[in-house]
Structure 1
Amino acid sequence: MVTVPPGALPDDWRPLLAEPPLARLLGRPLVDDALSAMHRLLPPRTALHSLRTFLLADARARADGTEYDRAGLLAAAAFHDSGLTCEAPRVPGGFPGRSAVLLDRFLAGHGVDDGRRGALTRAVREHIRPFPARTAGTEARLLHFGAWLDVVGRGDRQLLAERRRLARLAPTPLFAVSFSARVAVCGLRGVLPDRPPTAGDRSRRPAR
């Protein structure tokens, strides 16, 4: 994978990349490569949602005094909606299952051990559930919390102000409505409508 230096990432990411929980992770190969993959795979608004998801999950962890795999959760947040793209494999489990496969390949390429990979891919695979499973690990609970709070505002009321602050830093107006529509379309098409497939994408897409 060719890593895009953080300074070369989109300008509208910079306010979120400057947030201390995220800024402290920059420079780690796993983190920089996850951001590069997210830049390549996701439409701009969905990428901002992924960054806000991580920051909201981190805010929840700090509020609760919870330790977690910070670099790993950033990678999970970067990939958690990647299954909506045309590069995702056709596997069972809908787009979260496809996202988990892409994340697993990415983590395996970075030599991440099976236990850590299992926890992070489970977090991605289960993030769309209405509520986390009772047996969900720390990263799964945090990713679920961050994703749901960012899209629909569901979660700890004490962090709704943080949600609003991050939305002002990196606004995506009416994201909940547009994202829900995209998810519905992607259930049939397998590609996000606001990232038109390139000729290379179409050549990689399996025949139907």
Structure 2
Amino acid sequence: MKHRIADIIIPDSKLATEATELLREHGTELLYNHSLRVFIFAALRGEREKMKYDPELLYISAIFHDLGLVPPYSSPDERFEVDGANAARTFLQQHGIPEQTADIAWDAIALHTTPGITKWKKPEVALLANGVKLDVVGVGYEELSREQREEIVAAFPRPNFKQEIVRAFFDGISHKPFTCYGNIKADVCERLLPGYKRPNFVEMIENSPWAE
């Protein structure tokens, strides 16, 4: 791996390297390339806005942010974001990282698909969400130059990404669609899971056991 892409240095500390090896071992080429692009996009946003953030912590958060989609990190009953967040926090604490710092990574990963919250949290939390939004749905695409986009994609390609990332989401959550209630991954189940009906909050109120 080149250590500098689009003027962003890819962390290569012992901690970062071990995290990358976990993603390589348990993830897929799709998730690896996606996670590295997310980090670079997030870091570029941080540099543009002159934000004070920890590049290594942001990198670890990016590496773990989708690991909850795959074994051995995927649980039978938690949101995949929470599975990834729990794995990252455990990893960091096992390497002697203070709990307060590990909790920032937890927030970044657990909240990366929750709109409207992350911008009010720590810089690493906000930046990770921005990086994910840029790579998955193109929010902030025009903020990058054509040269930056081409260099990043050349290093970490996105062949058939639009279709493959949706399939990766589905494969990681289809065994527990109930965890999608109230979040955007319900859209994935609605598109791909036969018979899936998105829970409706108003119907839940109406069907409550309370008389009124």
Aligned residues: 174
Give the partner amino acid of 2:63: A
Residue 8 of structure 2 aligns to a residue whose secondary structure is: helix
- Equivalences for 1:1-208 in 2 at 5 Å? 14-15=1-2, 17-19=3-5, 20-23=7-10, 25-26=11-12, 28-90=13-75, 93-155=78-140, 157-159=142-144, 161=146, 162-189=148-175
RMSD of aligned Cα (Å): 2.0
User: Aligned partners of 1:49, 1:144: CA distance in 2, in Å?
Assistant: 13
Q: 131-140 or 78-87, which moves further after superposition?
A: 131-140
TM-score using structure 1 length:
0.76
Q: Please state how far the C-alpha of 1:91 moved relative to its aligned partner.
A: 6.7
Seq. identity, %:
24
Q: Please state how far the C-alpha of 1:175 moved relative to its aligned partner.
A: 0.9
User: Aligned partners of 1:139, 1:156: CA distance in 2, in Å?
Assistant: 20
Q: Quickly say closer, same or farther: Cα 1:171–1:156, change in 2 above 3 A.
A: closer
1:89-115 C-alpha deviation (Å, 9 max, x unpaired): 527541101100110110011111111
1:142-196 C-alpha deviation (Å, 9 max, x unpaired): 0001111012211263126333431133212221221112212321248xxxxxx
Extract structure 1 runs of 4+ deviating beyond 4 A. none
Q: Quickly say closer, same or farther: Cα 1:130–1:187, change in 2 above 3 A.
A: same
Give the partner amino acid of 2:9: L
TM-score using structure 2 length:
0.75
Q: Which runs of 5+ in 1 are unaligned?
A: 1-13, 191-208
Q: Which runs of 5+ in 2 are unaligned?
A: 177-212
1:100-151 C-alpha deviation (Å, 9 max, x unpaired): 0110110011111111011111000001123444532111110001111012
CA contact (8 A) 1:149 1:163 kept: no
Q: Quickly say closer, same or farther: Cα 1:68–1:91, change in 2 above 3 A.
A: farther
User: Aligned partners of 1:165, 1:72: CA distance in 2, in Å?
Assistant: 23
CA contact (8 A) 2:118 2:129 kept: no
